[in-house]
Homo-oligomer: A and B are copies of this chain.
Amino acid sequence: MRYLLELLGVAVFAVSGVLADGRKGLDLLGAVVIAVVTAIGGGTLRDVLLDRHPIFWIANVTYLWVILAATLVTLGYVRFRVASRRALLVADALGLAFFTIGGVQVAQQAGHSDPIALLMGAITGVAGGVLRDVLTAQIPLVLRPGRLYATAAIVGGAVYLLSAGAGAPKDAAALAGMAAIVALRLAAILWGLELPVVHLPEDEAG
């Protein structure tokens, strides 16, 4: 069950990576590369930082095949009709939810404290998209006034940690955390919620 969700998360993020490519005029292989990086970037960074080897997609190559299949299906599909943007956003929110809570659990199982687990959850959820944006030479969406993308990951991770810490069954806590992420993200898109923007005077320190 969890493994299936995980594969689904990888596939959804691959689709999101492919669709983001459309703006850039990449070639076919470039599109696949971006899809792969988007889908496995967050979990890879988490595994490297936590020294978990072999990295999840090296330990189980199925992830890579799922990404490849999702990418090719997407590329074929969008030749015929525009993907429903709404469906994509819902799927992407689900991917964020599963990756984040999965990342928190992985860090907890490795014996890390709650703040580190929360951070690793957020990294797992958002780093793939950050890498996608860096590779296409854009300021990562997650850093811009972005309708609570990373915020949703952090809030949902905290919901999971707090409810599990309060004695809730682990699965129930995970569901609560994932629901919080999806709800917050979709609400933010629906009503255009944003965190305040930082405006500072020009400076070239560094």
Instruction: Give the A interface residue count (CB, 8 A).
Output: 75
> Would A205 and B27 count as touching, CB distance under 8 A?
no
- Copy number in the complex reads 3
> Would A144 and B203 count as touching, CB distance under 8 A?
no
Closest chain B CB from A140 CB (angstroms): 6
A residues near B (Cβ < 8 Å) are 16, 18-31, 33-34, 44, 48-51, 53-55, 58, 61, 64, 75, 78, 82-83, 85, 88-89, 92, 112-113, 115-116, 119, 129-130, 132-146, 149-151, 154, 194-206
27 contacts between A and B (CB under 8 A): A16-B206, A19-B203, A20-B205, A21-B198, A22-B200, A24-B143, A27-B194, A27-B195, A27-B198, A29-B151, A30-B198, A49-B55, A51-B53, A51-B54, A61-B113, A75-B198, A85-B205, A88-B203, A89-B205, A92-B206, A132-B206, A134-B137, A135-B140, A135-B143, A137-B138, A137-B139, A141-B206
